[in-house]
């Protein structure tokens, strides 16, 4: 890291603070247990600043409790997931985060949890149907299911990218695993992680009471367009 010029190092330091602070949101919203779950954010490296034009990412280290997640504890990797700076190994999900950043340049933040209700839908391999106006707002339709993928190579990242590229949704339920969410920055990705758990829970409860009522596609489209125009916090206009 010492070869990076000062503006890059300052941005890395700022991103460490942001990512550490956002990790506290995961237990706060009840999305994680023990050391599961992770947040990352891209550090944009201006090619004029060298040594290379490739961006960096800041992510949680592996196996550290949420109480220990200070800015100093965060680790910095290149977009191949190689550790550049940090005392500990990067999260075991770093390869998946890095694959998303390499293949979706508009994405600036990625979050992964095993939040209970979203993961329950992933266990059934069933998309969460768009039966709430807030789902039309936030996800622009159903929350899709991605393929089954084993940890250890690019297969999780590939599944996330293949599923979300053709979708308005910033969240994918990786089958038998759990949700991954994306955003233009880590704040937006954390918001999507909170929202996907909320709608998974609500639609699950609705299902216990009886059949749910679909929303007409034209209504979904207009709700989504209005919400994205007003709040514009998702990436999805560019991708759908």
Residues with a known catalytic role: 112, 114, 137, 177, 231
Range list of H helices, 29-147: 94-103, 116-124, 133-139
What helix, strand, coil percent values describe the chain, rounded to 5? Answer: 45, 15, 40
CB 40 within 8 A of CB 57: yes
- Pick from 194, 172, 185, 173: which is nearest to 235 by CA? 185
Beta strand ranges found along the chain (DSSP E): 38-43, 56-59, 75-78, 83-85, 109-112, 145-146, 171-174, 178-183
């Amino acid at each position: 890291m010492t070869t990076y010029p000062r503006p890059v190092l300052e941005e890395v330091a700022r991103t460490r603070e942001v990512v550490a602070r956002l990790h506290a949101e995961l237990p706060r919203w009840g999305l994680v247990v023990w050391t599961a779950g992770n947040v990352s954010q891209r550090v944009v490296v201006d090619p004029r600043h060298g040594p290379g034009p490739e961006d960096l990412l800041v992510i949680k280290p592996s196996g550290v409790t949420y109480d220990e997640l200070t800015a100093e504890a965060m680790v910095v990797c290149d977009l191949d997931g190689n550790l550049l700076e940090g005392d500990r190994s990067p999260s075991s999900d770093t390869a998946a985060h890095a694959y998303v950043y390499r293949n979706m340049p508009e994405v600036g933040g990625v979050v992964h949890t095993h939040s209970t209700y979203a993961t329950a839908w992933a266990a059934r391999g069933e998309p969460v149907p768009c039966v709430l106006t807030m789902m039309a707002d936030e996800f622009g339709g159903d929350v899709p299911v991605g393929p089954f993928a084993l940890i250890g190579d690019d297969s999780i990242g590939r599944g996330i990218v293949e599923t979300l590229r053709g979708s308005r949704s910033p969240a994918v339920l990786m089958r038998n695993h759990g949700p991954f969410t994306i955003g233009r920055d880590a704040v937006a990705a954390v918001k999507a992680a909170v929202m996907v758990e909320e709608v998974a829970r609500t639609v699950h409860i609705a299902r216990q009471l009886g059949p749910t009522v679909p929303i007409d596609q034209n209504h979904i489209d207009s709700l989504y367009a209005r919400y994205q125009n007003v709040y514009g916090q998702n990436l999805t206009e560019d991708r759908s």
